[in-house]
Amino acid sequence: MAQKIFIKTFGCQMNEYDSNRIYDSVKKIGFQKTENYEDANCYLLNTCHIRDKAKEKVYHEIGRVKKIFRSKQKPLVIIAGCVAQAENQEMLKKRTIHRPGYRTPILS
């Protein structure tokens, strides 16, 4: 069975381009895009800091993902883009992201 990736893109055209490039990369290692997040093995949030309330939208989406997958097999969640870059230390403090080498999974 193929691995599936769900991609949610916030914001600008550059993020749409980046999301497509990310998909092109993961497609090479066997991932297929899905429009149904519940089927996903990987859940990508590509974020934009420019739009209004961008940070709040990202944290809201992270909370929604946590709730959806609370009692299900949890996908790999990747947060990319400029909100992730700007908020990375805060996300680590809030235990909302998993940092490679650390055991603080986003969906624990």
Residue 95 has pLDDT above 80, yes or no: no
pLDDT at 13: 85
Cβ burial of 2 (10 Å; 0-12, 13-18, 19+) is exposed
User: What are the two backbone dihedrals, phi and then psi, of residue 76, each rounded to the nearest 5 degrees?
Assistant: -70, 125
Residue 106 has pLDDT above 50, yes or no: no
Residues linked to residue 47 through DSSP beta bridges, in sequence order: 81
Mean pLDDT of the chain: 80
pLDDT at 101: 44
Instruction: Convert the pLDDT of each residue in 44-76 to its tens digit.
Output: 999 887 766 777 888 888 888 888 877 777 788
Record the pTM: 0.77
Residue 5 has pLDDT above 90, yes or no: yes
For the chain, the structural domain boundaries read 3-93
Structure tokens belonging to residue 51 = 């739009």
Mean pLDDT of all residues in 12-30: 92
pLDDT at 52: 66
Return d(Cα 42, Cα 94) in angstroms, integer.
Answer: 21
Q: Cα-Cα-Cα-Cα dihedral of 71, 88, 83, 20, to 10°?
A: -70
